[in-house]
Amino acid sequence: MAHHAADSTHLAPLAPSTRTLLGPGPSEVPPRVLAAMGYPLLGHLDPEFVALMDETQTFLRRVMRTTNPLTLAVSGTGSAGMEAVVVNLIEPGDKMLVCVNGVFGGRMVDVAERAGAVVTAIERPYGEAFDPEEVRTALKQVQPKVVGIVHAETSTGVLQPVEEIAKLAHEHGALIALDTVTSLAGVPVEIDAWGIDAVYSGTQKCLSCPPGLAPVSFGPRAVETIQKRTHKVQSWYLDMTMIMRYWGSDRFYHHTAPISMNYALRESLALVLEEGLEVRFARHLRNHLALKAGLKALGIAYVPAEGFQLPQLNCIRIPEGIEDVPVRKRLLEQWGIEIGGGLGALKGKAWRIGLMGHSSRPANVTLVLAALETCLRDLGYACQPGAAVAAAADSYRLAAESVAVS
C-alpha cells in the first residue's frame, strides 16, 4: 500500500531502553540532572545565563581544587578538552613529551602532532603506571615545552600518581598537562596542590552528567604561555584567547554555548558539592572494594597492579576459555547492563566495569556480580554459586563496622 505524507504525523516518539550503565562511560545520570536539561532555554548572552556561567565556574574551581581564573567548560566532549589544552599550549615546532600507557595517551600524541608539535612518546605496557625516574630521564633528553600525562587511563583502569612528575616537569622548565576525564570527582584531583598547569576532563564519567562539555583549567604559567604565542591557535573554535573573553567579564560573543548541557553541568556539580568531595571519594572506594571482593570470589583478577587501580573504572582480566562479546551481549540483552570491552592491546582480554558517579551504588555492584556469575556458570566456568554477592556483602559489612568504630 502506498504511504501518504499524512502518515508522518503518526511517527512513534523516541523511547530508548533503560540501561544500567556500568561501562567506561557514559555513567548513569541522576534525575535532577536529567530534569535540568528540560528547562526552558535562555539566550547565551542573557544575564541569567551569564550568571549561571559564573556559578558553574565557581563550582568547577571547587571540584578541581583550583583558584585558576581561566576555568570553564569547553563546548564539546572530553576529547575537545584534550584538544583545547594541547592546541593552546603548543605552537608549530614545540617539543612535547607524552606518557603513553593506554589509548588516551596515544590520542594525546596524535592531537599534539596535528598541532605541529615535535612529539616524543615514552611508553609503558597497558595496565602499568609510569615511574617518575623514567620521566626524569626523558625530560633531560627531550627538554620539552609541555609534558602530557593521563591521570586516570580509561582504557586500562590505571591510576597514575602525578605529583612528583609535575615537580620534575617544572624543574626542567616544562608545563604539565593532565587528563582527568575519568578521575575528576571520583578520586582526589588537586590541581593547585600538585602544580598542574593545564587540565581537562569530561562530564559523562564521575560527574554523572550527559556527555557534551569538557571542563578545563589553565594555571598562571599556561595563561602566560598562551598570551606569548606568536602563531594563532590552530583551532578557531578552541582558541582560549577568544573563549576566555566569552567566559570573562566582557562576554564577547564567540559561539553559541549548548544551553541545556550547561544547565546539566551546573546541577551535576551542585550534587557533587552537596555530597562533599571526601564523602564521594569514600563512596567510590567502598563500592570498588565490594566489587573487587566479589570478583575475587569468582577468581577474576585486575589488569593494573595493587595501588594503581582506579576505584571508578575496574579493568579486569577475562577468565581463561571465556569469550568477551557473548558475555557482554547477554548482560545487555537479559539484564540491561552495559560493561565495556578492552581497548587496544587489551581487546578481547579484559572487561571494564565502571562504577562512576551516580552508577557507583551497592545495588549496581550486587546486580553486575550476580549477572556476571550467572553468565560464567552457564558457560561452564567453575565457581561457588552465590559466592560473589556474598563476598561483596561481607565487604560492605566490614566497611560499615569500621566506620562505626571510627
Alpha carbon distance 321, 297 (integer Å)? 18
Element (H, E) at 13: none
Residue range 301-342, pLDDT digits in tens: 999 999 999 999 999 999 999 999 999 999 999 999 999 999
pLDDT reading at 2 higher than 80: no
Element (H, E) at 151: none
State whether residue 332 is helix, strand or coil.
helix
What are the cell numbers at 160? 597514575
Report the pLDDT value the prediction gives residue 403, as an integer from 0 to 100.
86
Q: C-alpha angle 97/100/102, rounded to 5°?
A: 160
pLDDT reading at 36 higher than 70: yes
pLDDT reading at 159 higher than 90: yes
As a whole number of Å, the end-to-end CA separation of the chain is 74
E strands, 61-174, in order: 70-75, 95-100, 118-123, 146-150, 152-153, 158-159
Alpha carbon distance 394, 198 (integer Å)? 41
Give the global pTM.
0.96
Residue among 353, 399, 24, 404 nearest 205 (CA)? 24
Q: Comparing 358 with 243, which gets the higher pLDDT?
A: 358
Find residue 150's DSSP bridge partners.
Answer: 179
Report the pLDDT value the prediction gives residue 7, as an integer from 0 to 100.
60
Residue range 75-97, pLDDT digits in tens: 999 999 999 999 999 999 999 99
Tell me what the pLDDT averaged over the chain comes to.
96
Q: What is the mean pLDDT of residues 61-68?
A: 98
Q: Name the band, by pLDDT with cuts 50, 70 and 90, for residue 246.
A: confident
Q: Please report, for residues 33, 38, 230, 239, 246, the alpha-carbon distance to residue 285 in angstroms, rounded to integers and kept in the order given.
A: 23, 32, 46, 37, 38
In contact, 297 and 391? CB cutoff 8 Å: yes
Q: Name the band, by pLDDT with cuts 50, 70 and 90, for residue 6.
A: low
Amino acid at residue number 123: E
User: Where do the domains of the chain lie, and which CATH numbers do they carry?
Assistant: 31-274 (3.40.640.10), 276-405 (3.90.1150.10)
pLDDT reading at 8 higher than 70: no
DSSP per-residue string spanning 243-299: HHHHHSTT----S---HHHHHHHHHHHHHHHHH-HHHHHHHHHHHHHHHHHHHHHTT
Long-range contacts of 236-245 (CB under 8 A, 24+ apart): 238/74, 238/76, 238/80, 238/83, 238/84, 238/87, 238/88, 239/87, 239/88, 240/70, 240/84, 240/88, 243/72, 243/74, 244/70, 244/72
Burial 352-381 (b: 16+ CB within 10 A, else e): bbbbbbbbbebebbbbbbbbbbbbbeeeeb
